[in-house]
Amino acid sequence: MRYINVAINLPVKNLFRQFTYALPPQFDYIGAGWRVIVPFARKTAEGFVVGEAGTNLPQPENYKEVQDVIGAEPWFDEEMLEAARWLAGYYMCPLAEAMRLFIPGKSSIKRHAVYGDDGKLLYYELENRLKEKTQSCYAITESGRQALAAGNNRAKAQMAALEILNGAARELTAKELEAEGISAAVLRTLVQKDWCSRSEQRVLRDSYAAKSSVKQSFNLTDEQQNAVDAVSKAIREKRQEPFLLQGVTGSGKTEVYLNLTAAALAEGRQVLVLVPEIALTAQIVKRYQSWFKGNIAVVHSKLSASERADVFYKIRTGEAQILIGVRSAVFAPFSNLGLVIIDEEHDQSYKQEERPCYHAREVALHRAAYFGVPVVLGSATPSIESYYDAIMKRYTHLRLTGRPNGQPLPKVQIVDMRKELQEKNFSVLSRTLQQELVRTAAAGEQAIVLLNRRGYSTFVMCRDCGETITCPHCAVALVYHEAGKAMRCHYCGNTMPIPDECPKCHSKRIKFFGTGTQKAQEQIAALPEVKVLRMDQDSTLRKFAHEEILSEFGSGKYNVLIGTQIVAKGHDIPNVTLVGVLSADSALNMPDFRASERAFSLLTQAAGRAGRGDKPGHVILQVYDADNRTVQLAAAQDYDTFAQEELERRRELNYPPYAAFLKITVWDKDEARANATAQELADFLQNVAKDMDGAEVYGPFAGIIGKVRDLYRVNVLVKSAEIGVFKQALWDSPYRDMKNVYFDVDPFNVL
């Protein structure tokens, strides 16, 4: 009897250990990487085999047996297992939790409770969660050929079907036969008579199968060609090397990606292309389909778990050589990876906020190192950490300094909204932006307006006592949404009707404050000749909603697109000549050391949507602090000066990339208990830090949203150039196994 170690696939934060099971003889063929069904804690659970347990075990008769095996082959190969182990260690999570990330939908099975007539639970029935779509296929048999040769005038339909099947060089699907006039009843009869055979073949779903376009390719500029040559050499030599491709907006980074992908495919290798947002997927897929039609798989959050499983199957089997996807695509089962491209590498969407709090860029770099392949990090505004790695020669720095068509970067104008208020303009739109929107529409051109808030108004407040209507489950103001005439929490989804009176002082003087995208849309729509379309989280709930909105806008049906930051990223619409950013400096007011970096990136990326065609671009930044250094540098689109000044500031304060952060969050329904646990943690970490130079422990302090879904959140933050010492101390402490203590390594949000 063999014994194996199994990581139990349950969404449990503190299940760090693996469990040993006996392997019955009928399953003796399996080993590390297989998925199995095992008894666990009076239930049945999915488990991942991570290795052999040996044979000299104490009391082997006490070990439970594996009940079943999932799939016909191991899900995890050696590289995927190694990547999961690294991820579990680096991001301080259980191995099973890391391995879950490699499973579409994070689990292969569903569990259904089965109850008796008395209402008592009998057992759990298991169902394969990742369902394969199949289709019936038919082929003529030898007896069918004999029947066809003999003929039968009374069974003309059957003979016609046999004639078609006999002339086919392969099995025909039921759909193909139906198109030839062959009914399902005739096929059933042929199968019953053994005149034809029926088999079930897997159908791989592809939501993008019909989306293709004419190939567009351009002569590369010298800078583009230099970038292609440098990375192509690393591809041919199978050399692990990170490249930072820093190119101004509209500089043709996608053209470089396409040429590099072609170079990797020429070597018989696979390519992973990561994009930060689902809204960018359709645009880059369209370009890739025009170059590599039929060789592409796409994965994003709007696909079902089974659809994602089909995508992973194509990559595992080599049916698709190119995978384009958002953050989760980094866990695809590549067998022959040759190149990784991370577009808009600075984007915070690559960092997962829920546990395990991994960063897709770091996972991609680790997997690429295993395969020995180059990684291209592309951005007009690289993350400060990546820029630092480039100037320190850890990354090869490639630059694209101009636009291929020779078009200059758009002219950027800063509008001081304080003066607008002084001059009695209380609209969310400055008079300059209103005039430019009207002019743009009249000229047959298009505009994009960015407002980083969704909803109709940002909050609802009593004008008598100042009470803000907040979510009863989260420490955050409710947002009014015009659709449904209700207030909604953007954290837990709870909705409430608008109160008739203040819940605190019972005043009837309830007023909406602030401006969301819905309200801004109304104000823009009131302008002459303007036809406005909105794109935010509320308007893009349906599958392919992003693509449909961008397609409508790109067709010219609408001349203004308004939305949250999603409209600022990566879109290439030649007729857009105007970009307006409302409350452009609002992100600078966040108490976070990355606030300036985020604001600069968002403003520069938004500005880059203008003037990408033959017409010059114009950008209007509406701000309340027109003299702010970050706003001024963003208007000048001077990333290098901004990055150098930001690095100097961070060096003085010992912030990343000169040190690292580790955030520990305590969640509890009891606020006092949460604070007490966090204080214990802070004291423990202070004791670790006392003999270390430059190490600092902050907190405990309430999260910026102090309560979510009735759970209080209290943080402790560690900053150190030797953060590994703190990670190891916590790993060896009782805090690691506490159910309500969570770790975020290299947090994007430190609050």
Please state, rounded to an integer, the average pLDDT across all residues of the chain: 87
> Which residues fall within 8 angstroms of residue 41, CB to CB, at 6 or more apart?
none
Of 418-432, 465-479, 641-655, give the lowest mean pLDDT range.
465-479
At residue 646, the 3 state secondary structure works out as: helix
Residue found under tokens 């953050």? 327
Whether residue 286 is predicted with pLDDT greater than 90 in this model: the reply is: no
Of 103-112, 500-509, 554-563, give the lowest mean pLDDT range.
103-112
* Token output for 240: 């692990």
Where residue 506 falls (left for φ over 0; alpha for ψ -120 to 50; beta otherwise) is left
Mean pLDDT of 181-190: 90
Mean pLDDT of 481-495: 76
Whether residue 302 is predicted with pLDDT greater than 70 in this model: the reply is: yes
Q: Which range scores top for mean pLDDT: 116-125, 208-217, 423-432?
A: 423-432
Mean pLDDT of 221-233: 96
Contact criterion met (CB below 8 Å) for 364 and 351: no
pLDDT tier, 202 (very low <50, low <70, confident <90, very high otherwise): confident
For the chain, helix (H) and strand (E) counts, in that order, are 21, 32
pLDDT value at residue 503: 82
Whether residue 308 is predicted with pLDDT greater than 50 in this model: the reply is: yes
Integer Cα distance of 405 and 228 in angstroms: 19
Which of 555, 611, 616, 578 lies closest to 442, judged by CA?
578
Of 519-523, 632-636, 697-701, give the lowest mean pLDDT range.
519-523
Q: Which range scores top for mean pLDDT: 5-19, 488-502, 545-559?
A: 5-19
Mean pLDDT of 142-169: 89
DSSP letter assigned to residue 736 = G
Q: Which range scores top for mean pLDDT: 152-166, 507-521, 531-545?
A: 152-166
pLDDT value at residue 54: 78
Of 239-248, 352-361, 467-476, 688-697, give the lowest mean pLDDT range.
467-476
How many angstroms separate the first and last alpha carbons of the chain?
Answer: 52
The model carries a pTM of 0.83
Burial class (CB in 10 A: 0-12, 13-18, 19+), 678: buried
Distance of CA 39 to the CA centre of its chain: 33
Mean pLDDT of 431-458: 82
User: Sheet harboring 486-488: ordered strands across?
Assistant: 479-481, 486-488, 495-497
pLDDT tier, 516 (very low <50, low <70, confident <90, very high otherwise): low
Of 55-69, 74-88, 200-214, 559-573, give the lowest mean pLDDT range.
200-214
pLDDT value at residue 459: 65
pLDDT value at residue 457: 47
pLDDT value at residue 211: 55
pLDDT value at residue 359: 97
pLDDT tier, 455 (very low <50, low <70, confident <90, very high otherwise): very low
pLDDT tier, 129 (very low <50, low <70, confident <90, very high otherwise): low
pLDDT tier, 213 (very low <50, low <70, confident <90, very high otherwise): low
Whether residue 404 is predicted with pLDDT greater than 60 in this model: the reply is: yes
Of 227-236, 427-436, 569-578, 722-731, give the lowest mean pLDDT range.
569-578
Residue found under tokens 């706003």? 631
At residue 163, the 3 state secondary structure works out as: helix
pLDDT value at residue 1: 83
Where residue 727 falls (left for φ over 0; alpha for ψ -120 to 50; beta otherwise) is alpha
pLDDT value at residue 391: 96
pLDDT value at residue 306: 80
pLDDT in tens, 386-403: 999 999 999 999 999 988
In this structure, are strands 576-581 and 446-450 parallel, antiparallel, or unpaired? Answer: parallel
Beta strands in 150-291 (DSSP E): 172-173, 196-203, 242-247, 270-274
pLDDT value at residue 243: 98
Mean pLDDT of 267-286: 88
pLDDT value at residue 483: 64
Integer Cα distance of 611 and 606 in angstroms: 11
pLDDT value at residue 343: 95
Mean pLDDT of 28-43: 92
pLDDT in tens, 104-119: 887 777 766 667 777 7
- Return the number of other C-beta atoms located less than 10 Å from residue 472's C-beta: 11
pLDDT tier, 433 (very low <50, low <70, confident <90, very high otherwise): very high
pLDDT tier, 545 (very low <50, low <70, confident <90, very high otherwise): confident
Whether residue 475 is predicted with pLDDT greater than 70 in this model: the reply is: yes
Whether residue 488 is predicted with pLDDT greater than 70 in this model: the reply is: yes
pLDDT value at residue 366: 97
At residue 27, the 3 state secondary structure works out as: helix
Whether residue 499 is predicted with pLDDT greater than 50 in this model: the reply is: yes
Total length of the chain: 751
Whether residue 705 is predicted with pLDDT greater than 90 in this model: the reply is: no
pLDDT value at residue 458: 59
pLDDT tier, 484 (very low <50, low <70, confident <90, very high otherwise): low
